[in-house]
A and B are shown apart, each in its own frame.
Chain A
Amino acid sequence: MKKRLDKRGYFFLIDSILALGVLAVGAFLIFTFYVSVPSKEEPSILSDDLMDFFANNKIKDVNNEYVGLGGTLWETEGQPGGICNGEELIANGENTLLQQVAIFYEKSSGNSCYLNLVKKFILKLTENTLPTQYGFEFWMDDQLLYPETEQTVSKSKTKVLIPSKKIAYGIMNQETGDMFGPYNAEVLVWQ
């Protein structure tokens, strides 16, 4: 009787080890099917937020020492020593930030200083807003406006690159009825 019970103990032990093995293999197989994918949510939110910030805020509403009404951009950048010396820089508080970017972009076809001006404009509005692990570019009609050079290496390494697009346009001169745009504005954010 004792001999029979001993044999049964070994058998149960082996059986439980086998079952445990089956469970372990099963669990392993299940979890290996789920590939770790980097989150798209954060870059997507940042990209949309950044574009919305430019598209939905007017110059008059921005509390920024450089860009806001009476800011250094309008006071000094058209003066000697400024980025666009000799150019008349008039702030229109009713323009959105995106429209102002488009106006500078339109004027850059006549004077390339406006490309430097728009670069600084975007820099001053976005500095310290994006977490350091994120990269960001601002394009208009296939022309890179910010930063100075395209971040090809950084962009090629990332697995998630989120674009946010809007069309920028407006009336340049109320008296003559001249319009600017429409331009394809694009913000790219990646991690």
Chain B
Amino acid sequence: MAIKQFGKKGMFLTLISISIIAAVIIIFTPSGLDLSKNMPVIKTRVSNVNEYVLDLENVYLENALKATGRKTLIGLIKWMENPLGTARFFTNFKGFEDSFSEVLLYGQIEGADIDEYYEGAIMDGNTYINLIDDIKTTAEQTFNVETIFTVNDIKVEQTRPWFVDVEADITFRVSSETASWNKNVLIKTEISVENFDDPYYLVNTGGSYINKIRKSDTKFDEWSDEKVIDFIEDGNYTHFEDGQAPSFLMRFYNDISASSCCGIESLVNPNNPSISNKDVSYVDYLYWSSVENCANPPYTLLRVDKIHTEFPNFKFDLNHLAKYKLSADEQICPPPG
């Protein structure tokens, strides 16, 4: 009777142990529906695309704007020089800004391809839209993402003498299989005005006097005869805090009024073959804008012998004589006495 009872209990225990083992097997069997193992892959993909979005926003769009902005200014200066026709200024700032935007985005001016106005291709394949398309294609190949851009507005202005500020208002959307980004960004860049041909010289001489903008190292209180001679010889530019000169951008639309922030000026070299002897100040923005009348000039004209030896016919107005720390040897206009 006792054996019979123990035997039944043993079977029962065996069944329990089998059940426990079966339960353990079922619980710990890896499930094919475990999504957690895919998480690092998804995380890496999102992280990579996020890096691309940040890079786009902070670096690429700014670099592309700087590169295209520089090309646009080169193209506009060539268009003004107009080697195939007559040199011309823009009518006003609005006209200049509209053309800047049109050339930067589409490589066109007044609806025509700007590269047709001169030899060589400056904007072909290099517009802002072209560069944006390039990154779109590369991002699609690299990260398998779709990028859609809309350029809402382009602005150009100067707040410092030696730099042009360009702004682009852009909306873009980046979408991948796992996530999407919507951004509206204001991309800002500054372009150095150095090494551009001064459009004011080009247009006024029909392209025969090319003067590249280079900043002089001389500070406002360091001027002397020798430094002025080098300054004229090198065709350099300077900025006076209290100056009356126009800014670099104002030279595109023939506005020679004083720029409150950004006026830059150079001295016209009378030895250049395209420069004729005139009874006016040889400061660049005055040379081409002043009406000659020695008997009743707009300002007193003076001669400095040391400068005159190197640059015959060179004349200063009283205001600039003081700015360049020179002293006059002779008054030319109006004739003394």
Chain A residues near B (Cβ < 8 Å): 4, 7-8, 11-12, 15, 18-19, 22-23, 25-26, 29-30, 33-34, 44, 165-167, 169-171, 174-179, 181-184, 186
Nearest 8 CB-CB pairs, A to B?
A177-B70, A26-B21, A177-B67, A182-B138, A177-B71, A184-B142, A179-B67, A15-B10
Is A170 a contact of B63 with CB atoms below 8 Å?
yes
B86 within 8 A of A: no
Query: What is the minimal beta-carbon distance from B283 to any residue of chain A, in angstroms?
Result: 27
Beyond A4-B2, A171-B63, A179-B126, 10 extra complex contacts between A and B, CB < 8 Å: A12-B10, A15-B14, A19-B13, A19-B17, A33-B30, A165-B142, A169-B63, A169-B135, A171-B67, A176-B70
Is A30 a contact of B24 with CB atoms below 8 Å?
yes
What residues of chain B lie closer than 8 Å to A30, measured between beta carbons? Answer: 24-25, 28-29
What residues of chain A lie closer than 8 Å to B22, measured between beta carbons? Answer: 26
What residues of chain B lie closer than 8 Å to A176, measured between beta carbons? Answer: 70-71, 74
Q: Which of A8, A178, A182, A184 contacts B60 (CB 8 A)?
A: A182
Is A33 a contact of B134 with CB atoms below 8 Å?
no
B246 within 8 A of A: no
What residues of chain A lie closer than 8 Å to B63, measured between beta carbons? Answer: 169-171, 179
What residues of chain B lie closer than 8 Å to A26, measured between beta carbons? Answer: 21-22, 24-25
Q: Which of A23, A167, A179 contacts B64 (CB 8 A)?
A: A179
What residues of chain B lie closer than 8 Å to A29, measured between beta carbons? Answer: 25
Is B70 a contact of A7 with CB atoms below 8 Å?
no
Q: Kindly count the residue-residue contacts between A and B in the assembled complex, taking CB atoms under 8 Å apart.
A: 90
Given contacts A30-B28, A182-B138, contact A22 B21 (CB under 8 A): yes
Interface residues on B, range: 35 or more
What residues of chain A lie closer than 8 Å to B192, measured between beta carbons? Answer: 174
What residues of chain A lie closer than 8 Å to B135, measured between beta carbons? Answer: 167, 169, 182
What residues of chain B lie closer than 8 Å to A186, measured between beta carbons? Answer: 142
Task: Give the complex CA separation of A4 and B7 in angstroms.
Answer: 12
Is A34 a contact of B3 with CB atoms below 8 Å?
no
Task: Give the complex CA separation of A44 and B48 in angstroms.
Answer: 13
Q: Could you give 9 example pairs across A and B, Cβ below 8 Å?
A: A4-B2, A22-B17, A26-B22, A166-B142, A167-B55, A175-B195, A177-B68, A181-B138, A184-B138
Task: Give the complex CA separation of A81 and B71 in angstroms.
Answer: 37
Name the residue of chain A whose CB is nearest to the CB of B21. Answer: A26
Task: Give the complex CA separation of A167 and B48 in angstroms.
Answer: 11
What residues of chain B lie closer than 8 Å to A12, measured between beta carbons? Answer: 10
Task: Give the complex CA separation of A167 and B63 in angstroms.
Answer: 14
Given contacts A183-B138, A184-B141, contact A178 B67 (CB under 8 A): yes
Name the residue of chain B whose CB is nearest to the CB of A183. Answer: B138
Within 8 A of A (CB), among B175-198: 192, 195
Within 8 A of A (CB), among B11-51: 13-14, 17-18, 21-22, 24-25, 28-30, 44, 48
Q: Which of A22, A171, A179, A182 contacts B18 (CB 8 A)?
A: A22
Query: What is the minimal beta-carbon distance from A76 to any residue of chain B, in angstroms?
Result: 31
What residues of chain A lie closer than 8 Å to B44, measured between beta carbons? Answer: 44
What residues of chain A lie closer than 8 Å to B13, measured between beta carbons? Answer: 15, 19
Interface flags for B59-79 (1: CB within 8 Å of A; 0: not) read 010011011111100100000
B139 within 8 A of A: yes
B131 within 8 A of A: yes
Most chain A CB inside 10 Å of its own CB: which residue of B21, B30, B52? B21
